[in-house]
Structure 1
Amino acid sequence: MAPSDRADSARKHQLLELAYAHVLDHGLADMSLRPLAEAVGSSPRVLLFLFGSKDALVQALLARAREEETGMLDAVRPARAGAGHGLAEAGRLVWGWLADPAHRKLLTLWVEGYSRSLAGGGGPWAGFAERTIADWLAVFAAAQPPAHRDTPEALAERTLLLAVLRGALLDLLATGDEPRAGAAVAAHLRTLEAVDREAPAP
């Protein structure tokens, strides 16, 4: 890589991080390049040069948010591939991260990307919701015993867990009522503990 290419790459990374911090505070809806460029100490021309287009910049910002989310999910995965530590424990770890006030801005941005993706059409939002679901289901599958995880029952169990966590997250972001949302999640996790005990051993 030529020195000029390395400089462009470093500047691109720096501006992406600054832009990501900005959209965490202000969201992506109706994002305009000129105010964003002013906020990150750049210009619309430089942003377009480095990222190619506004849509490509939005895609990079969504990928940055997904990177942070998948980093959390990787931490939840069983330490030993295929070990399976149970859906209840995986759900408890994920909810602990989702309920942490330090992650409110990221999760609000995630909800924005998810809802824009559901609206359909092309553009930078396309496929964001589907990829997110696949990420979460893969983590929950790894928490299930290998002898059980490929069954229709196991797929239904992790799909229901995802639905409960996603619904509780939306409730929490809307109301801030963590005790109530957390109690609902805990009630579901208790039912999963019984399912985990009955699941076939590896």
Structure 2
Amino acid sequence: MVAHVLAQPAQGQAGVAAAELVRAWLAAAEHRPLLRLWAEAYARPLVEPGGSWAGFARATVDDWLDVLAACRPRPERDGPEGAVRRTLALAVLRGALLDLLATDDEQRVTAAVHRHLEMLRRGGGDGA
């Protein structure tokens, strides 16, 4: 999904580009059945911490943060500010996904994510 962004030199707005690619994949109607299953699996360890899905939510967060980190140069990737930016990008994307799954209102949710990414572009932030 983000392979071609990850293959580019990590500079400029690469984090925003990666977040946009992730957003597009998450918003694709053909992925909704899989993402509904993901949402169920993500929530399960929150209610049954020792159950069969134990650790899944944490592993999912770590995996996505790693994907977003791979888009950044090492100094930004390894610093605490980079971790904060990636966490914010992931939180926005995950929240938008849950909202989309709950409402199927792709237009509104996509507009909100685009607004967030545009604010990052204008503010010189990189989103990830």
Equivalence for 1:122: 50
1:36-67 C-alpha deviation (Å, 9 max, x unpaired):
xxxxxxxxxxxxxxxxxxxxxxxxxxxxxxxx
Higher relative contact order (CA 8 A, sep 6+): 2
**Deviation, structure 1 residue 77:** 5.4
**Of 49, 57, 62, which aligns to 1:134?**
62
Aligned length: 122
Structure 1: unaligned runs, 5 residues or longer: 1-71, 197-202
Q: What aligned pairs does 1:1-202 form with structure 2 within 5 A after superposition?
A: 72=1, 75=3, 78-79=6-7, 83-84=9-10, 86-193=14-121, 194-196=124-126
Cα RMSD for the two superposed structures? 1.6
Find the structure with the greater CA-based Rg: 1
1:76-123 C-alpha deviation (Å, 9 max, x unpaired):
65115xx32521000000000000000000000000001101113323
Contact 2:5 2:17 in 1 (8 A): no
**Deviation, structure 1 residue 125:** 0.5
Identity of aligned residues (%): 53
Contact 1:113 1:129 in 2 (8 A): yes
Structure 2: unaligned runs, 5 residues or longer: none
Q: Which segment is superposed worse, 146-155 or 133-142?
A: 146-155
1:4-26 C-alpha deviation (Å, 9 max, x unpaired):
xxxxxxxxxxxxxxxxxxxxxxx
After TM superposition, what 4+ stretches of structure 1 lie above 4 angstroms from structure 2? none
Q: Which segment is superposed worse, 109-118 or 84-93?
A: 84-93
* Distance in 1 (alpha carbons) for counterparts of 2:33 and 2:48: 24
Contact 1:149 1:155 in 2 (8 A): yes
TM-score normalized with structure 2 length: 0.87
Q: Could you say if the C-alpha distance between residues 77 and 132 of structure 1 is closer, same or farther in structure 2, counting changes exceeding 3 Å?
A: farther
* Distance in 1 (alpha carbons) for counterparts of 2:75 and 2:119: 20
**Deviation, structure 1 residue 192:** 2.5
TM-score normalized with structure 1 length: 0.57
